[in-house]
Chain A
Amino acid sequence: MTEPLSVGELDRVDYDIERGKIREFVRATFTTDPAHTDRDAAQAAGFADAPRPHPRRRRFATSATSKLVDTLGLALERVVVGSVKWTYLRTLIAGDHVVGTRRIVDDVQREGKRGGSMRIVTLETEYVDTDGDPVVRLEEVLIERGEQR
C-alpha cells in the first residue's frame, strides 16, 4: 500500500488568455453570449476585452498524468473523478496571464459501501493573475477503487 502523502505541490501550469482561443472555445461549447466574441458587446457589458468563459476543465501540465502516478502512486485505470468544484473570484479577459498551482490537500482511505477500500485524494488548484491575486480555485476529488480480487 502506498504511504499517505504529506501536503505538497503537485504541478503548475501557466497560460495566456487569448481572444482567438476564447472564440474557438465559445463555438465548441455552444455558448451564446455575444460578449465573448464581439468587442462592442464586450465593452457594452463593461469588459475591457473579451471575457473568457469560466473554466470548467483543468489544463494539465504535460507531465501531470505521470506525476499523478509517480507522486501519488495512483493506479489510473482504477481512478475516477468523483467531483469537481470551481470557484470564480473574477472574470478573466483576453490579455490576462494566469498561473495555476495544484496541491494535494487530502489523501484518505475509506471503506466502500460494497466492501473493499477506496482511496480519496483531494486536489486544489489556485490560479493567480500577474498581480498575484487569486482569480480561480478548483477542487477535484479523485477516487481510486480498491483492487479487484
Chain B
Amino acid sequence: MRAPVKAHIGTVADTRVIGPITQTDIVRFAGAGGDFNPLHHDPEFVANIRGPWMVIAMGQMQADPGRLASDTFGVEHVRSFGSRSACRPVRDTLTVGGTITAITDTDGETRADLDLVVSGSKRDRLSPVRQRSSSPGA
C-alpha cells in the first residue's frame, strides 16, 4: 500500500480538464460499463423522443472524471463515494476540481471529505454535478 497523501483543508491543487467529450468517448464508456441506453449514442432515437434533446453523455460519465480522487490520493485510500449527476451534452468540455472540506478521525483512520465538482462548458439548462468522496488524510 502506498503511503497516504498529506491532506489539508482547502482547494486540491490537482484539477483536470476533459474533453470536448466526443461521441466516441461516450461509446467507449458505454462498452466499458455496459450502459447501452440509446439516449447516449443513437441520434435517430433521440430525435424521436419529445423535447429539444440531443445525445447526452451518461450521468455517471461525469462521476468517473471524479477519478481525480483516486488518482490523487491512491485507489486504496478512497473509502467512500457518493454522487448526484446531471446530464451533459456531447462536445461539452468538463472541468474537475476538488476541495477538502473536513478532516476527521473515523474508525482509527484520519479521513478527509473531498467535495468534487464537475462543471460543463456549454451554456444550457443543465446544472453542474456535485460529488462527495472521502479518503484518508494524514
Contact = CB atoms under 8 A, between A and B. Distances in A.
Contact of A31 (B25, B33, B71, B74): B71
A30 B65 contact: yes
A27 B70 contact: no
Interface of B: 1-2, 16, 18, 25, 28-29, 31-35, 59-61, 63-67, 70-71, 74-76, 78-84
Interface stretch (A54-62, A108-116, A120-128): A54-62
Nearest to A21: B32
Given A25-B32, A29-B64, A83 B84 contact: yes
A53 B84 contact: no
Interface residues of A, number: 31
Nearest to A28: B32
Given A54-B70, A56-B63, 19 more contacts: A28-B25, A28-B64, A29-B29, A29-B32, A30-B67, A31-B64, A31-B70, A33-B70, A33-B74, A33-B75, A45-B76, A46-B76, A57-B35, A57-B60, A59-B34, A83-B83, A84-B82, A87-B80, A91-B75
A32 to B, nearest CB: 5
Contacts of A33: 67, 70-71, 74-75
